[in-house]
Every structure is written in structure tokens, then in C-alpha cells.
Structure 1
């Protein structure tokens, strides 16, 4: 099997010029075609790339030597000699995805043919803007890579999702771990030794869902990440919309309410202040202080230690307080989403993130609010679905983004 540096050579234009540069570009085009269309013949590749059959054969043979492509055998033909089918090699290389939540981390390994090889869910972790929290994140990633069932040298890149403002082009994080002048991606890459890319968590989850979840032929889709905050991924005409600086989708920070609650962003009245996981926990604590009871406080759980997962677990076990609070924030989220539907007129609206695990307890009040507050002609054209991937959405998204970055270098 080809060594890592040989594979990297295909995706790098360093020290390449003239014919060598053109050949690398053609190889990447060939790989992208196989990536999109699956196994195919030399003749079809030649036609698609608009180059001669001998040239295509030469490029394919070089990619076979690199370990990226293989001959999958003959295909039946209507006449003449049977042609060989060529396709990507699953275990040629791999990509790691790291989805960082507020209190845990999900990690996964993707192969070259975009299949999830392994995934580790809900590794305990507390996301804080401290050096200690960053160090713990690095140790968790190192531990995951050390335990992988594949050779570490075959891991070409890592994708890491963080909440808040992330520049996926420069690798800077403006919400977490911005302690040094260098991009966070470079700091992590130097520590781990594998090329690293950053992405906003909601965009990564949306991308995972767009590629591998509920999206089929739809071209205009909104994905709502309902967690401690509220994020948004936007698909317009089949492409993820980033905005000029890459910070699109800050849905949770629309000044929706006339209240004095200070949001995490520092402003008052944001949608997140009354329609998010953080507001759900705050309301839960207030109700308990007023004398309400809940089975979320099981096993001597202290009120100050309550997390979103505790309330979700309680709701899914018919805890009335949790269900009532979910209905309240669902109605408010629905009002916000009604505004987005009126603006974007999407084909599909996907509810994802941790809160979506409550199913109809959140979906039904959101649906009711959409019917009430959005224009009926627009609303009737929009499907409302729960995330198909669930916890896998962020991991799949970060793996695929890490893969795409390498393939497009």
C-alpha cells in the first residue's frame, strides 16, 4: 500500500509545474468523478475528462500504484471485449471527525469511500474557553487516534467542530481557545501531527445531514441545530451558504425578545435567551425552586448539576415538567423558524441537535407555531423533518469536510 506522503503528493501542488501540475489536476478530477459517480470504465473516464484513452489509462495506472484506485473486475458489455471497472480504494486513507459539544465529544473515522468505520460517542468533556479545556480536547483526540483500528499514518486530516464564530478558511476560532495569534487549527495540527481543519458545529452538522441524512433531491434546505444555543446551516441551490466571512447562520442571535436576559454573545433579547437548551435549563431550575418536581432529579442529582441530557431523558420518560417546558421553547423556536421560512421559502426544514432527541415533544409545538406564524402558501411548500443522523451528523460533517479540504488542495 502507498505511503502517506505518496498519497499527499496527489493532492498537493507543491513543487509541481508544467506537465506534472496538469497531471495532478487531471488525477484529482478523475478521483472526484469516481467519488461522485462510483466505479466506472476507462472509456467513460476518458469521455468525462475529455482526454485520450491512453492518457486516461496512464493516469489510472499511476493512481493504482498510489493505492488510491483499484480494478474491480470486468463488466458485461453489449459487444466486444468486456471492460474493467475502476473505483476508489476504501482503506487507501482515512479522515477523523471531532464534534465538540458542551459536555461531551463525539469522534469518528471515515474511509476514502465515505463510510464511517468507527465512532465513539459522548466522551465526557466540558467545553470552556480555557487552556485546560483545550489540553483535554487534545488528549481525547490523541487517545482516539491511538486506539484506531487502522495505521495512524493513513489518517490524512482531522476536522474539528466548535460552536461560535469559526473561520473555516483561516482556521481561526473567535469564540473558544483564541489565546494566541496563530490560527487554532495550526496549533492543534502542530500538537497532533495531522493536518487539521476547523468548522462551526452547526454548519458541519448541516453538511453531514445534507450529504448523508434526510436530504435527497432538495436544493434549498435549512438545518436547525438545537442545543445549548441555536445554530443554522443553510443550503441554497445545492450549496452550503457561508456568507462573506463564513459566519452565516447565527439564527440564535436575532434580537427576538424585549427582555433583559444577557445572551452568551453579550447582547440582550437574543432568540437563544428564551428558546434554547440554555434557557430550558434556566426555566427548569426556576420551576424547581418554585416547588415543581421532576424525575430529572433522580439518583440524588443536584439541581446545579442538571444538564440538557438529563431533561431530555426525563421528557422521553414522560416527565410532565420537562414536556411542558419543551412545548414552551418549541413554540418560540417555531416563531423564529416561521420568519426564516417566510424569507427563504425552503423545500425542507430539518430539526437537529441534542434537543431534537425529544422527538414530537418539540416537533409538534414547532409545527403548530409554523402554521400560526408563517405565510400559509410558503409554509405548505416546506417539509418539516427530524434529523436522520442524530449524534452522527456532526461527526459525518466534520469527517467529510476534512476529506473535502484534502481533495481540493
Structure 2
């Protein structure tokens, strides 16, 4: 019998009441403390949870028996008896995170203590709003699971990041794979046999960075995901912000431009139409078509074969055309970020997503535009940094959001 899985099944049992419910609730709080604060002694937990030490001790013993908690032995103490330190048993349970991009998939596995156990990145994939694309995604996930050297019963959840409008509460995606009334999470769960959760990609990346990345003591942080589109994840007063319907963060669809470029959202003039990876790709192809030279065309004779990743790689290899166009994108994006800074007055703005991997080529034009367009008294209190986690942000965020859902 898998005691870990049994315990989490008990947590979801709505029929539990009385003392049993109270004990389960306290166990959940203990696990949450270990997960988000760290290892602790019985005394630490008793104070934090305002519960008697004998009660905490009994619950810890039950969690050890279930295989979820470990006794790490005595800790140093200057006076009295040395207490024992307890914490999560790292390999008792696992979580999978899947980051779905336009041309590839990143997928990873973390243990209970949020250590990345295994990752597979840049798996070729074509994201499209049709059944064959969904089928291909499920095949990628199942292949990853098949090659894991762990008991799959210990995998308690699967988190999937998709761009666009996501209802994380119901599991519906309204931008991709919305073929019928059945939630997308249910469709994927039936194909993988693992409880599945869905999240907007920018929000999941933001959460990964907030919890494991560059964020330290800051409580009000914006994470700008610069990819084919532009997304935004927000932490307000230390909490991930969803908005009323869970659709917050549509930064790329702010109508900043008076142009006739039709955005994929159906509107014209969106920030994405001139300041995104998709816009960069379109302008780049037009420049090459008009006679501009680039090292990208050495490997791609046909314009339709050029991908955003090719332009980024070229920029990082000192390709002049790629660098110049990225700078133009950065200047336009910086104007939009200046608007956000004026609105939110954040402590920190983090640049993430594939375009952030160009470093100063995107950072410096954005920084310059922020200085130009934002109110100095507001922006002076805001730091601008590039994501510390890079392409691990989405994987970690997806996994940890699933872990949180189970513990909360």
C-alpha cells in the first residue's frame, strides 16, 4: 500500500469530520510549514501552529509512519537537551511540471523538497489548436513518465503551463485545446493517469521565480514573460494575483499602438503587435526580404523556416541585424513596462521568457525606455532584473503550484 498517496487521498475526503478532520488539518499545516519555511523542531512547530507539543509529537510520528516526514537527528543547543529536527522526506512524493511552448516542450520532475530531480528540455513540438497537437503533448508526457526510475504511484500531480486564457479552477483552456465541454485537465488526466492541473504559463513562470529564484524579501513583484507573446505574472503583498476570473496579466493586449496590425486576440494596436517575439520574427523576415543580411540566412534559405529561437541565437553570436531589431523591441516593451511601474509601484520587475536570454541586448533598451517614460519618483524604487531561473522557472512554478494545491 502506498501510504503517501493514501494520506493525500484522505486530505481530499470531504466526509471526514470531528477529531479526524482536525488531525488531518494539523498534519497539512505541518507539511505546509516544512514545505514553505523549512525544517523544524517539535517546539518550533508547537509555537508556530499554537498546538501542544504532545499533540505535534503524535502527528509527526504518524507522518513519519506515512513516509512523508523524516527525523534528521539532534540539533546543536547551548542549553538543555538537544531537540530533534524534522522535515519533509525528499523522495516520498514527486510532482511533474510541463511547460508548453510554441515550438518545443520543457518537462521536469521535483521531489517533495522542491529539488529538480530530472528535466528534459527543448523537446520538438508544434503547438496548435487541434486534436493531433494535444495527442502529441500527451505522448511527450507519457514518454517522460515511462523513463522515470521511480514508483509512479508517488507522482501526486502534473502541472501544465499553457499560454492564453486559463481557468485554473475548472481546468479549462480557452486559447488552446478547447474542443468540448470536458475540462482539459480531465482529458490529460485520463491519458496520463495522474491528477492534472492547468495554469497560465506566465503566472507559473512568475511563481517559480517568486519562490525559488531572484526574489528575496520583496512582496510586490512583476514578472514579464517575453516570448512569442507577452505575459505578466504579479505578486501583490506576497501573494500571486489572479484577478476575479483568474485572467489577470494580459499585459500584451494593452492597446498602446494606433496601428492596423491585427493581434491574435482579434483586436488591433495591442502591445504584442509591435513588442513581442512574434513581432520581432515578422520584422526580421521583412528586413531579410528587403535585402538585409544576417547569419540566420546561412542555415535557413527559406524565410518560412526561420524561428524566433534562430534570431536569439544569432544575436548571442553578435549578429548585427538581430541585435538592432531586439533593441527596437526592447524600447517598445520598456514603454509598456513603464506604464506598469507607474500603476503598481513595484519593488522589482523581472524579465523572463525566451527573449530575456539575450541579456543586455534586451535589458538595456528596456531600462532606457523605463527611465524615459516612467515617473522618476516611482521607478527609482523599482529594480529591474533578468530571471535567475531561466527556462527552469516554468517547470518549477508548475510543480510547486500543484504541491500547493494538495497542501492547501
TM-score above 0.5 = yes
How many residues are aligned here? 408
1:175 aligns with 2:141: no
Alpha carbons of structure 1 residues 343 and 153: separation in structure 2 relative to 1, 3 Å: same
1:129 aligns with 2:129: yes
Deviation at 1:300, TM superposition (A): 4.2
Which secondary structure does the structure 2 equivalent of 1:194 belong to?
coil
Paired position in structure 1 for 2:161? 161
Counting only pairs closer than 5 Å after superposition, residues 1-400 of structure 1 correspond to structure 2 as 2-400=2-400
Which secondary structure does the structure 1 equivalent of 2:223 belong to?
strand
Deviation at 1:43, TM superposition (A): 2.1
Equivalent pair of 2:2/2:153 in contact (CA under 8 Å): no
Paired position in structure 2 for 1:404? 404
Once residues 116 and 216 of structure 2 are traced to their aligned partners in structure 1, the CA distance between those partners, rounded to angstroms, is 19
Stretches of structure 2 lacking an aligned partner (at least 5 in a row): none
Once residues 43 and 101 of structure 1 are traced to their aligned partners in structure 2, the CA distance between those partners, rounded to angstroms, is 46
Once residues 105 and 358 of structure 1 are traced to their aligned partners in structure 2, the CA distance between those partners, rounded to angstroms, is 20
Q: Give the TM-score normalised by structure 2.
A: 0.98
Equivalent pair of 1:2/1:67 in contact (CA under 8 Å): no
Question: Aligned-residue CA RMSD in angstroms?
Answer: 1.2
Which secondary structure does the structure 1 equivalent of 2:317 belong to?
coil
Which secondary structure does the structure 1 equivalent of 2:390 belong to?
coil
Moved more, 99-108 or 25-34: 25-34
Which secondary structure does the structure 1 equivalent of 2:12 belong to?
coil
Deviation at 1:213, TM superposition (A): 0.9
Deviation at 1:297, TM superposition (A): 1.6
Deviation at 1:317, TM superposition (A): 0.8
Alpha carbons of structure 1 residues 57 and 310: separation in structure 2 relative to 1, 3 Å: same
Once residues 138 and 271 of structure 1 are traced to their aligned partners in structure 2, the CA distance between those partners, rounded to angstroms, is 32
Once residues 301 and 83 of structure 2 are traced to their aligned partners in structure 1, the CA distance between those partners, rounded to angstroms, is 65
Once residues 240 and 5 of structure 1 are traced to their aligned partners in structure 2, the CA distance between those partners, rounded to angstroms, is 27
Once residues 141 and 3 of structure 1 are traced to their aligned partners in structure 2, the CA distance between those partners, rounded to angstroms, is 25
Q: Give the TM-score normalised by structure 1.
A: 0.97
Stretches of structure 1 lacking an aligned partner (at least 5 in a row): none
Equivalent pair of 1:226/1:277 in contact (CA under 8 Å): yes
Equivalent pair of 1:10/1:27 in contact (CA under 8 Å): no
Deviation at 1:10, TM superposition (A): 4.8
- The one-character-per-residue Cα deviations of 1:224-246 (angstroms, maximum 9, x if unpaired) are 00000000011111111110000
Once residues 42 and 89 of structure 1 are traced to their aligned partners in structure 2, the CA distance between those partners, rounded to angstroms, is 16
Equivalent pair of 1:13/1:21 in contact (CA under 8 Å): no
Equivalent pair of 1:96/1:109 in contact (CA under 8 Å): yes
Equivalent pair of 2:220/2:348 in contact (CA under 8 Å): yes
Moved more, 126-135 or 296-305: 296-305
